[in-house]
């Protein structure tokens, strides 16, 4: 018999024990770092590719008009008077009025447009306060040969803007419909505003980051899909909101110009006997007593604006669905037609 040598077979040693836990900790950190860097880079590449594709896929549906050296998008449909002008909210543009414009086109000429930097309109530098914005609208309508007088409807930020328009160009305005209107902030002094502006810079920073890595595109698309817009309109809204230009314009119109907007809005609160309908979304999801009480206090703080005014509520709607859902949009359309009828007949708005 051949004797086998003893202790010549090496006992297996754990690879983990040979290399040590520090080796694997370093490997894990490197992997995490690659993941943290790689995902944003992939998102940025995706965003850049999507923006390039969007520019080819979605040409402006209306006409591009030269206004003081920059091109603005105006989209008019239908026939019949009075002409109705639709003013979008902050971080928005003409496509958001899809349902209302389609419905109104059956009886009236109706025009939506994109403020500079929104949608298909080119951006401009400088302060984007309310008076500046509505003067650009006035110039746009003149350049495009869309004569007044008009009935104006404004959603969100568009609410105070159309009041400023009525105050600046009263001879051109037959009536207003404020659709879940923004209520501009006001402060005792400019230093209080500057403090508010600095405190709210984080919202702009966050949205900028989300936009650059492509996350804003996903969030925006899901939001508008939930309102009941057709897929083509959802894609348009997603394409032109999820851009650096869109985010920068939102910040310029909302945060940076809030001091001027608040003062200009207060100066446009007395509109005589102009027919005015104020329509609020009902916000059925706001059920907490404290939040509900705050919402109702905001509504109560809004003046009547006119001796010929009416307040309506679109039951079941929220801030976006009030024009994004076909059913609620019909209520907005009916309100606009009611103001048009009152303007034409001279009769007070039905209460």
What per-residue confidence (pLDDT) applies to 234? 95
Model pLDDT, residue 92: 94
Residue 51 lies in a domain: no
Could you tell me if residue 36 is inside a domain?
no
Question: What CATH number is attached to the domain comprising 126?
Answer: 3.40.50.1820
Residue 312 lies in a domain: yes
Output the pLDDT for position 212.
73
Q: Helix axis angle, 158-168 relative to 130-143, nearest 10°?
A: 70
8 found inside a domain: no
Query: How many structural domains comprise the chain?
Result: 1
pLDDT, position 188: 86
Is residue 270 in a domain? yes
pTM above 0.75, yes or no: yes
Domain that holds residue 222: 56-345
CA dist., res. 61 & res. 236, Å (int): 11
Nearest by Cα to 269 from 232, 305, 229, 224: 305
Q: Is 330 among the domain residues?
A: yes
* Rounded CA separation 218/212 (Å): 12
Which residues in the chain land under pLDDT 50? Answer: 1-12, 16, 24, 32, 35-37, 39, 41
* Whole-number Å distance between alpha carbons of 339 and 84: 11
Task: Answer whether residue 171 is part of any domain.
Answer: yes
* Token couple for 147: 């004569």
The 10s digit of each residue's pLDDT in 151-177 is 999 999 999 999 999 999 999 999 999
- Examine residue 107 and state whether it is found in any structural domain, yes or no: yes
């Amino acid at each position: 018999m051949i004797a086998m040598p003893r202790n010549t077979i090496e006992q297996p040693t754990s690879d983990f024990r040979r290399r040590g836990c520090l080796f694997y900790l370093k490997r894990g950190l490197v992997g995490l770092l690659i993941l943290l860097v790689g995902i944003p880079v992939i998102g940025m590449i995706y965003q850049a590719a999507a923006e390039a594709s969007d520019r080819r896929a979605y040409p402006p549906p209306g006409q591009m008009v030269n206004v003081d050296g920059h091109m603005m998008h105006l989209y008019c449909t239908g026939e019949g008077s009075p002409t109705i002008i639709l003013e979008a909210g902050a971080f928005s543009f003409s496509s958001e009025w899809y349902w209302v414009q389609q419905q109104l086109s059956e009886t009236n000429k109706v025009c939506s447009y994109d403020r500079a930097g929104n949608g298909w309109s080119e951006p401009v530098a400088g302060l984007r306060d309310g008076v500046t914005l509505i003067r650009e609208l006035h110039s746009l309508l003149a350049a495009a040969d869309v004569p007044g007088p008009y009935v104006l409807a404004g959603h969100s930020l568009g609410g105070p803007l159309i009041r400023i328009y009525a105050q600046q160009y009263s001879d051109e305005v037959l009536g207003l419909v404020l659709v879940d209107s923004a209520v501009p902030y006001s402060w005792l002094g400019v230093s209080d505003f500057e403090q508010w502006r600095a405190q709210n810079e984080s919202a702009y920073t966050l949205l900028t980051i989300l936009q650059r890595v492509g996350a804003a595109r996903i969030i925006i698309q899901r939001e508008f899909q939930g309102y009941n817009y057709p897929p083509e309109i959802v894609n348009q809204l997603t394409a032109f909101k999820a851009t650096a230009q869109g985010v920068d314009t939102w910040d310029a119109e909302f945060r940076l110009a809030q001091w001027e907007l608040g003062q200009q809005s207060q100066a446009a609160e007395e509109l005589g006997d102009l027919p005015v309908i104020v329509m609020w979304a009902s916000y059925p999801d706001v059920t907490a007593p404290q939040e509900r009480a705050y919402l109702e206090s905001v509504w109560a703080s809004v003046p009547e604006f006119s001796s010929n005014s009416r307040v309506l509520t679109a039951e079941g709607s929220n801030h976006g669905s009030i024009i994004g859902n076909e059913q609620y949009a019909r209520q907005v359309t009916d309100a606009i037609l009611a103001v048009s009828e009152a303007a034409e007949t001279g009769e007070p708005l039905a209460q």
